[in-house]
Chain A
Amino acid sequence: MSEPRMPIESGVPEMEPYLHPVLKKNYGQWAWHERPRPGVLHHVAKSGDSIWTVRAGTQRQMDVYTIRKLMDIADEFAEGYVRFTIRSNIEYMVSEESKVQPLIDKLEAEGFPIGGTGNSVSMISHTQGWLHCDIPGTDASGAVKALMDDLHHEFTHEEMPNRVRMTTSCCQINCGGQGDIAINIQHTKPPKIDHDQVANVCERPSVVARCPVAAIRPAMVNGKPSLEVDEKKCICCGACFPPCPPMQINDPEHSKFAIWVGGKNSNARSKPTFHKLVASGVPNNPPRWPEVSKIVMQILNAYKADAKDWERIGEWAERIGWPKFFEKTGLPFTKYHIDNWRGGRDNLNASAHIRF
């Protein structure tokens, strides 16, 4: 038998071989940029060189035929180099302005929307879900596809007060991350424990340690070592499920969606913020999740109509105040919006600042 092949532990590859020549030549020497139209960036280097970037939306999970089609377009209509944004948009770089329109025309003809720049709603950064994850309460690609169909106009136009960056997550672990609007699974019932399985597979101490509210206790069930959950304490977070599959948290009916707004990672104007709960109990309704779309559109429409230029959704809500936010979006305010987790008192109004 031949020696097994050992990996070449090369790590992150160098960028240079994959870089468009104009980007390589002007590396670190860019002067300014403009957006001639939604989906197009024009960067000018200190050397006077220009590069035009055309940004198009993709489905992220791509079949090789789609990828090859995108590469054919890159060779024929662009200059053989592409890159992807953090939100799975593809970018084509061309050094001549005359190539921009034919490239756009071709991409649009092949069904790839042009946009996602500036004050648009860009592609929703999303996770795996039923397609590939072992703990999902829903499907990410499907929910995102359905939402992006509804948001197509907002992706291809820059009509929002400021950029809108959305995320989805198919469990409460939230791979999707923070967003102006985040759409995340929210369980509403404690896990149902499959006691037969626990005895076989479970590392009990690590599950007990995982629970944020110490609701899990080792217990003997039917004479076998198992676990029990104090259902009054349990906050249905699902944290016990990844280390212990018998802790069945996902429920076709009781695993719902919660919607959060006001996450912002940029330092522009206000400091970075986490997103805040605005709606919950939204049904997990495949294949197109219409109830989710409805609430997202309610929020976006109110924001579009009311926010000032450059205000992100969270900044807008802070300016007009949360009472107005709930009024303008038509969403109900409940006791669950009042934070009672560690440090939650920081989120109460410790002042006489009241808007009338």
Chain B
Amino acid sequence: MAKQMHDTPMLDQLESGPWPSFVTGLKRLANDNDMMVDLLGQLETSYQTRKGYWKGGTVGVIGYGGGIIPRFTELKKDGKPIYPDAAEFHTLRVMPPPGMHYDTNTMRKFCDIWEKYGSGLIAFHGQSGDIMFQGCSTDNVQPAFDEINEMGFDLGGAGPAVRTGMSCVGAARCENSCFDEGRTMRMLVNNALDDMHRPALPYKFKYKVSGCPNDCMNSVQRADLATIGTWRDDMKVDQEEVKAFVAKAGRKYVIDNVITRCPTQALSLNDDDTLAVDNPSCVRCMHCINVMNKALSPGDDKGVTLLCGGKRTLKIGDLMGTVIVPFHKMETDEDFEWLEELATEILDFFAENALEHERTGEMIERIGLTNFLEGVGLEIDPNMISRPRMNPYFRSDDWDEEAAKWAERSAQ
């Protein structure tokens, strides 16, 4: 039995309603956990005053410079914490397996460890993709980490470092998967563990991996290096299934929701209710495959598209990742080695050339895509642009040489 609960009239109002309530969970923990009693006290104060009361600091584990998010209370009276048992409430960021799969035994072990050393509150998962073990005293951070680490789990990234990666469920349970997303994500992150655990980059760097252009991992908007599956041969069409779909959904539905919704007018419904696909016009957007997933599927010659520079607001505004490699196979060990080397190249270039607190997208905006490509040893490709330049502000002294390169590349 823990110490007496504080009154929480505002938080109590979040216990009603049909959605599972985190407040009910916090209160349950507070039954026998003083840290949670005081956490509820501080949180209720925030609800009353509409102010936050945490500040950062430095807390870590031996051997690493990141992965712990330190939190100390600022809610004090006469220099003493008003809620002393939650005066330290640190988070351990721990990397899940790719695809966030678990067996029940592992989950139970997490619970036991966190009941022993922490508050008993775990978030599955943070926006960066970590398991967040929330609420730990400074003293308990090391032993909690040690036990989690012995289970085979490691800390994720925080600060100016390589951050925890994310990959979609993909090959494990999705017919759209164009490569081994889990292997790719693991390889990318595990190749950069030094830059993850010892933060010394200009700013954060994120890898996200999606098995197809549906981009379930939101990589185009959030990853410094987005790896998205695609294919370069014809999409696969099972005409019998197409006919079955048309028979069931109706021609009007198929015309209104499949044929006319193709962004590049690559589809046409034949008179016999089979589908004609103009594959060179198809941009692999996934729409028709999503609607008719039994009839249509990605082709056999699969691989990945790489995009670089996605990020959120700070400082110059949101940026999408843009194409830096239109297509590369991702099947053999050599393919994976190629990606590992390229990712290292990009990370090194970022480390050396980005200004402090600049993400890859901002760096590319500042120096220009061509300089970036040259720096990391990639060749230009018209797939990297939506349209050519629309202004005459460039110097083209060596136009002829550049044009010759194109001829050379095209001849290959």
Contact = CB atoms under 8 A, between A and B. Distances in A.
Nearest to A268: B287
Contact of B56 (A88, A131, A134, A263): A134
B214 A9 contact: no
B218 A86 contact: yes
A267 B357 contact: no
A269 B172 contact: no
B387 interface: no
A267 B154 contact: no
Q: Number of contact residues on B: which range applies?
A: 35 or more
B92 to A, nearest CB: 12
A83 B287 contact: no
Nearest to A146: B14
B408 to A, nearest CB: 31
A287 B154 contact: no
B170 to A, nearest CB: 8
A84 interface: yes
Interface string A111-153: 1110000000000011111111111111101100110110010
Given A8-B154, A174-B312, A267-B215, A64 B115 contact: yes
Contact of B50 (A67, A112, A252, A274): A252
Contacts of A128: 126
Contacts of B100: 83-85
B20 A59 contact: yes
Interface string A62-76: 111111101100110
Contact of B312 (A57, A93, A145, A173): A173
Interface string B275-297: 00000000111110011011001
B52 interface: yes
Contacts of A65: 25, 28-29, 120
Given A113-B19, A265-B218, A81 B102 contact: yes
Interface string A31-61: 1111000000001000000010100011111
Contacts of B19: 57, 59, 113, 145, 148-149, 152
B305 to A, nearest CB: 10
Interface string A257-272: 0000001011111101
Interface string B322-338: 00000000000000000
Contact of B315 (A24, A68, A82, A212): A212
A146 B215 CA distance: 28
Interface string A224-242: 0000000000000101000
Nearest to B15: A145
Given A53-B173, A65-B28, A28 B180 contact: yes
Contact of A288 (B14, B18, B121, B313): B14
Nearest to B179: A28
B173 A145 contact: no
Given A63-B29, A74-B104, A23 B173 contact: yes
A268 B13 CA distance: 40
B286 to A, nearest CB: 5
B98 A15 contact: yes
Tell me what chain A mostly uses at the interface: helix, strand, loop, or mixed.
loop
Contacts of B56: 134
B152 A58 contact: no
B406 interface: no
Given A6-B62, A81-B101, A86-B216, A30 B127 contact: no
Contacts of A349: none
A313 B28 CA distance: 39
B41 interface: no
A192 B257 CA distance: 53
Interface string B392-403: 000000000000
B351 interface: no
A189 interface: no
Contacts of B110: 67
B122 interface: yes
A32 B286 CA distance: 14
A342 interface: yes
Interface in B218-246: 218-222
A331 B100 CA distance: 39
Interface string B198-228: 0000000000000001111111111000000
A10 B291 CA distance: 40
A132 B134 contact: yes
B18 A12 contact: no
B97 interface: yes
A13 interface: yes
23 contacts: A5-B142, A6-B63, A12-B186, A12-B189, A15-B101, A18-B101, A28-B180, A32-B175, A63-B28, A68-B111, A82-B107, A83-B169, A84-B96, A127-B127, A173-B314, A174-B312, A237-B313, A267-B220, A267-B285, A268-B285, A272-B320, A274-B320, A343-B317
Interface of B: 10-11, 13-14, 16-23, 25-26, 28-29, 39, 43, 46-47, 49-56, 61-64, 69, 71, 89, 91, 95-108, 110-111, 114-115, 120-129, 134, 142, 145-146, 149-150, 152-155, 165-166, 169, 171-175, 177, 180, 182, 185-186, 189-190, 193, 197, 213-222, 256-257, 261-263, 283-287, 290-291, 293-294, 297, 312-318, 320, 356-357
Interface of A: 4-15, 17-20, 23-24, 27-28, 30-34, 43, 51, 53, 57-68, 70-71, 74-75, 80-86, 88, 90, 93, 111-113, 125-139, 141-142, 145-146, 148-149, 152, 172-178, 206, 209-210, 212, 237, 239, 245, 250, 252-253, 255, 263, 265-270, 272, 274, 284, 286-288, 308-310, 341-343
Given A11-B189, A17-B97, A173-B312, 7 more contacts: A8-B150, A15-B172, A61-B25, A64-B120, A86-B218, A177-B221, A310-B287
